[in-house]
Amino acid sequence: MRRLEAGAELDGFRIEECLHAGAMARIFAVTYADGRPSPFPMVMKVPHMGAGDGSENIVGFEIEHQLLQVLQGPHVPRFVAAGDLSRLPYIVMERVNGQTLEAWMQTFADAHRPIPVAAIADMGARLAQAVHSLHQQNTCHLDLKPANAIIDEQGRIVLIDFGLSCHSDYPDLLAEELRKAVGSPAWIAPEQIVGVRGDPRSDVFAIGVMLYEMATGKLPFGAPQTRGGMRQRLWMSPRPPRAYLTYRSDLPEWLQEIILRCLEPQADQRYPSAAHLMFDLHNPDQVKITSRGRETRVRGFWWHFRQWLRAAGMHYEPSPLPSQQIMQVPIVMVALPNEDVSDLAMYALRQATARSLGTRPGARLAVVTVVNPAIAAIGASNSSGGETGRRLQHLTSFRKWAQGLDLSLHQASFHVLESTDVAQALLRYAAGNQVSLIIMGAATHGLPMQRFVATVPIKVAMNAPCTVILVKEPVPLTMVERDVAGSEELADTYQSG
């Protein structure tokens, strides 16, 4: 088979320098052979196909060839072209300028200092956002590791190397042809070891491994090279990150809680989606601390023995479609007004929220309100507790509002945002936290003017990145008829004018 060298031309591309030569493939910088400019820098990935190379090389190439043509968004490289498998296989794609997460972590290791907690949370949230975008497209990466995540020039995480990935709309070639666990030993999830592929929570496990390494400088399960070594993570718990006191003493309980929840051996005990993980990393003050977050010692023999017995009889069930699974456990945002609201309206919002949560066990509830900073400052100056006291008043009232909800199967958090533009603040929050459903009150006052001036609920409904439920408190029919008549009269006035 033809070997590519710098200066060669292939199918209209000119081969430039070799950027990377790995065990599975080589990557070259390429340009168009006719000299025309490309819309973005490009690379060509060529798999090794020699006599001594494993079959997973070509199978992985087929998978990546398939997936890069259908995946979209800012978290994957753009696809350009692909070569004929029978002649010379290659993929031309966007060259992502930036540094790998592995290189970013190494800068701290070289400086002999731990990564700051805020930087770990920020990087973890960006990674979870990128992974969630894959899951929304029914794709599980299944080979997440620091070398396969690039931090681009805008600070976004771009995921690469989809050779071990699984897309629910295409045949799983690895499962069909190899019939064995495949993945990087340090990051592979327990269910992958026993042959279950396509569960998005496997990617959540891999993110947990990376968070653990960022927090401690160590891998939670080492880097085993045998199947028996990898199987230990089906029942072994890693050393709690907060036990590494010689490495750092500032690791908070909430971060350990997040990391160890990601690393649970049973998938249903991890975060149900990468969006839920990102939410907690964005809102550490809302993380519910359990014994996981408080541990400072490795669990004992009898605990591990019980886990071993459970793992020996465990039967992993394939999960639903990734996009379907994450929609079953959405992040539900309820936008509560903080002034000029009746008890009846708040009751209607609570009933609507209860109905929505009742059909979605495991969904996350985020109760949000927006206050005008200028008005809040005036209120704070008239309050003995100041601005902090004013905020606490809002949070206390919203927690009382939520007491009527059954939250036994849900996590709930409460947030006070400040903005002069309520609609934009709600939209930014929804987009930034991967909210799947917004519940808010429908403005019932000023109905005649609403045909001409968009209210906050209408603005949110028109521009939201997700489903919006507008809740209207019961209104006597005579008031509706009066407002409709007034609206028609106002419309006639505008038209005649």
Q: Give the model confidence (pLDDT) of 350-359 as tens digits.
A: 999 999 998 8
Distance of CA 348 to the CA centre of its chain: 31
Say what the pLDDT of residue 54 is. Answer: 55
Query: The tokens of 469 are what?
Result: 């439920």
Q: Quick one: 351 and 420 in the same domain?
A: yes
Say what the pLDDT of residue 106 is. Answer: 97
Angle between helices 101-110 and 200-216 (to 10 degrees): 20
Say what the pLDDT of residue 236 is. Answer: 78
Q: pLDDT-derived band of residue 181, with 50, 70 and 90 as boundaries?
A: low
Q: Quick one: 89 and 174 in the same domain?
A: no
Say what the pLDDT of residue 293 is. Answer: 92
Q: What is the rounded distance in angstroms from the CA atom of residue 395 to the CA atom of residue 413?
A: 10
Which residues, at least 6 apart from 50, have a Cβ–Cβ distance to it below 8 Å? none
Answer for the pair 360, 330: CB distance below 8 angstroms, yes or no. yes
Query: Does 2 map to a domain?
Result: no
Q: Quick one: 212 and 106 in the same domain?
A: yes
Query: The tokens of 338 are what?
Result: 């903080």
CATH number for the domain spanning 202: value is 1.10.510.10
Which 8-state DSSP code applies to residue 117? H
Q: State the greatest distance between any 2 C-alpha atoms of the chain, in Å, as a whole number.
A: 85
Structure-model confidence comparison of residues 322 and 142, the more confident one: 142
pTM of the prediction? 0.84
Q: Quick one: 165 and 301 in the same domain?
A: yes
Query: Does 386 map to a domain?
Result: yes
**Of 62, 94, 126, which closes a domain?**
94
Q: Quick one: 389 and 407 in the same domain?
A: yes
CATH number for the domain spanning 387: value is 3.40.50.620
Q: pLDDT-derived band of residue 194, with 50, 70 and 90 as boundaries?
A: confident
Query: Does 491 map to a domain?
Result: no
Q: What is the percent of the chain where pLDDT is above 90?
A: 47
Task: Answer whether residue 184 shows pLDDT above 90.
Answer: no
Q: Quick one: 349 and 440 in the same domain?
A: yes
Query: The tokens of 473 are what?
Result: 């408190």
**Of 307, 325, 343, which closes a domain?**
325
Query: Does 1 map to a domain?
Result: no
3-class secondary structure per residue, 265-293 = CCHHHCCCCHHHHHHHHHCHHHCCCCHHH
If phi over 0 gives left and psi between -120 and 50 gives alpha, with beta otherwise, what is residue 35? left
Q: What is the rounded distance in angstroms from the CA atom of residue 420 to the CA atom of residue 418?
A: 7
Nearest to 3 by CA among 41, 53, 42, 50: 50
Query: The tokens of 116 are what?
Result: 């700051």
Say what the pLDDT of residue 303 is. Answer: 66
Task: Answer whether residue 159 shows pLDDT above 50.
Answer: yes
Q: What is the rounded distance in angstroms from the CA atom of residue 27 to the CA atom of residue 325?
A: 35
What average pLDDT does the structure give for the chain? Answer: 84
Answer for the pair 219, 186: CB distance below 8 angstroms, yes or no. yes
Query: The tokens of 202 are what?
Result: 């496997």
CATH number for the domain spanning 54: value is 3.30.200.20
Residue 289: domain span? 98-325
Whose structure tokens read 């997973």?
Answer: 56
Q: Quick one: 88 and 105 in the same domain?
A: no
Q: Quick one: 88 and 114 in the same domain?
A: no
Q: pLDDT-derived band of residue 77, with 50, 70 and 90 as boundaries?
A: very high
Q: Quick one: 115 and 208 in the same domain?
A: yes
Q: Quick one: 222 and 240 in the same domain?
A: yes
The region of weakest confidence among 4-13, 121-130, 343-352, 474-483 is 474-483
Q: Quick one: 312 and 457 in the same domain?
A: no
Task: Answer whether residue 255 shows pLDDT above 90.
Answer: yes
Q: pLDDT-derived band of residue 2, with 50, 70 and 90 as boundaries?
A: low
Say what the pLDDT of residue 80 is. Answer: 95
The region of weakest confidence among 212-221, 328-337, 379-388 is 379-388
Say what the pLDDT of residue 176 is. Answer: 56
Q: pLDDT-derived band of residue 305, with 50, 70 and 90 as boundaries?
A: low
The count of structural domains within the chain is: 3
Q: Which whole-number Å values give the CA distances from 399 to 156, 335, 342, 404, in the listed order?
A: 35, 13, 17, 9
Query: Does 490 map to a domain?
Result: no
Task: Answer whether residue 9 shows pLDDT above 60.
Answer: yes
Q: Quick one: 105 and 83 in the same domain?
A: no
**Of 281, 302, 325, which closes a domain?**
325
Query: Does 173 map to a domain?
Result: yes
Query: Does 25 map to a domain?
Result: yes
Q: What is the rounded distance in angstroms from the CA atom of residue 177 to the CA atom of residue 171?
A: 11
Query: Does 85 map to a domain?
Result: yes
